[in-house]
Amino acid sequence: MVYGLARRELRPRVPLRPGEGEKHHLTSLEGLAALSLDALSSVAYGPEAIVLALVAAGTGALSATLPITLAITFLLAALVISYGQVIAVHPDGGGAYAVSKAELGPASSLLAAASLVVDYVLTVAVSLAAGADALASAFPVLAHDKLLVCLVGLALLTGVNLRGVTESARVLMLPTVLFIVAILGIVVLGLLRPHPAAVVGTAQSFPAHETLGLLLILKAFSSGCSALTGVEAIANAVPTFRTPRFKRAQRTELMLGALLGIMLVGLAVLIRRDRVAPRGGVTVLAQLTAGAYGTGWAYYATNIIVTLVLLLAANTSFGGLPVLMSLLARDHRLPHLFGLRAERPVYRYGVVALALMAALLLIAVNADTHRLIPLFAIGVFIGFTLSQLGLVRHWARQKPEGWKRRALINGTGALLTTLAGVILLTTKFLEGAWVVVIAVPLMMLLFARIQRYYTEVGKELGLGRIPGPPDRRTASLVIVPLGDVSKLARHAIGAALALGDEVVAVAVQADPDKTRALREAWERWDPGVRLDIIDSPHRSLVQPIVDYVQRVAHDGDGRQIAVLIPEVEPRHRRYEILQNQRGLLLATVLRSRTDVVVCMLPYRLRL
């Protein structure tokens, strides 16, 4: 003790690189902004999907909106509790994939991975397309440029996420708060008003052509379950949270469930009370907005916020899919480059791959939301079911305290999601759901083939086994391709002499006069190295050197042969196109056709 202070152990401080440290990971509120916008923004189309299904039985059937929404909210509660358990059991992320791999076996994990990849890509496409639709509703001049709007929004999101998920979370914080306040304001003000403040859109007639039977109720239930997409994203991206990671992720999942449940039930109450039916030119949410705020500035501001949030909801996939792809790469089911991270904690190859797949999908359907919706929720319901079935098996194996109650929760959720998924698949199959039925098995096959390739490569390389002693070579030969006597030649010959026992320079010439001049200049320089000049009447450079190297390697008598290729590098990148790129081409051909060592030697210019 010195002056009443306890002695502290001194430890060296190592400066952190960009992207390291807790400040580059998510807090609970940042996680809500970065990973929950997909689920929260579903209130813009989930209740409307229920209304569009029920109105087939006439406007009187809209009274069933509230009980159907309550059933969906019950399923939401089961999913939130279930994924809270997933987060605790699998804090490394991966969600349904991690649970399936640990509890249900390889085939189920492949199914979970494929369905999640499909769902994430569709989430980006649907969110951007729906946002473009909302924007075109407010500004009809953009109605013919929806694809361009989607691609511009996709490019902006990709750029933000390439800088890191934390930066994207901070960008999304303000729109998320404004959206939540706007929707809750619609619910509160709408309930306080005895009747809607204003009515927007053109009236439409809906003669009943179906009865409000079990089949129609189930169809409306499955359509409304599109509001549940995105609930799993937090469990897939647990590693992006600050420590304690799983507690912060669980807290974020609970906040998401509570907010989404309140919004869905509140909007359903308004729909039932005011008998809100589809009207021309506006969405159901826009009608509820006008009923609560009127048609003043608050109405337009809310619609703009909804449009912005729908566009930004795609960020959920950018937070979840790259992490999932990194787990697949770690398990040798995707190329290993998807497991690489940049200096910031970002899986950039995963971000770019997601952006490219979403762009291709948007181009294929011309940003038509109605062609994407039938594909939307099937993949996520597969993931829901597998994750909960996996946890049921986990509790049955481990048998911790209270395991029967937990297994009952997960089993109930699995039953409900299976029912909703089957109904959604059967009712939407001919509308485009068949694409998912084909895409998921093909993706499973791709994962399996990649894993098989890595397994065979591991066997051939002898990974995990101690190899024999290395081959001992008695001599080495370094071949240096050159074009002229210059400082570049001096630089290359000097490096080659330091690397090998014997050095030979090789030049290719087509003009006899230039051949004679090069020979005379070499003799005057006299670097102590033999020069072999290859005659090339067809003025080919690469192939004669490759043939020379192959011939020397064949007659090499066990020598280690290396080819040292000098390459001029300008100081400024804008001059690179002015330099001869034949060195890179020669190196590529040598690597593909020979087993010699190929080295690139840079000579950096001052220009």
pLDDT digits (tens, 9 = 90+) for 480-496: 998 888 888 899 999 99
pLDDT of residue 169: 61
What's the pLDDT band for 474 if we cut at 50, 70, 90?
Answer: low
404's CB contacts (< 8 A; 6+ apart) are 395
Contacts of 170 (CB under 8 A, 6+ apart): 30, 33
Q: Is the pLDDT of residue 602 over 80?
A: yes
Taking alpha carbons only, the member of 472, 455, 343, 492 closest to residue 21 is 343
Cβ partners under 8 Å of residue 437, min gap 6: 425, 429
Residues 6+ apart with CB under 8 A from 225: 46, 72, 75, 377, 381, 420, 424
**In 403-475, beta strands by DSSP E:** none
What is the share, in percent, of the chain residues with pLDDT greater than 90? 14
Most distant CA pair in the chain, distance: 103
22-455 and 476-604 in the same fold: no
pLDDT of residue 418: 84
For the chain, give the number of residues.
Answer: 607
Cis? peptide before 244, omega within 30° of 0: yes
pLDDT beyond 90 at 26 = no
- The topology (CATH level 3) of 22-455 is Amino acid/polyamine transporter I (1.20.1740)
Q: Does domain 476-604 have CATH number 3.40.640.10?
A: no
pTM: 0.72
For residue range 375-394, list pLDDT tens digits in order.
Answer: 766 777 888 888 888 888 88
Q: Give yes or no for residue 264 having a pLDDT over 90.
A: yes
- Name the residue ranges covered by the structural domains of the chain: 22-455, 476-604
Is the predicted pLDDT of residue 20 greater than 50, yes or no?
Answer: no
Cβ(380)–Cβ(228) below 8 Å: yes
* Nearest alpha-carbon partner for 381 in 216, 225, 218, 215: 225
pLDDT of 575 above 80: no
Residue type, 217: I
- Residue pair 79/228 in contact (Cβ under 8 Å)? The answer is yes
The whole-number pLDDT of residue 447 equals 92
pLDDT at residue 170, as a whole number: 66
Structure confidence at residue 23 as a pLDDT band (50, 70, 90):
low
3-state secondary structure 243-268: CCHHHHHHHHHHHHHHHHHHHHHHHH
Sign of CA dihedral 356, 359, 363, 368: positive
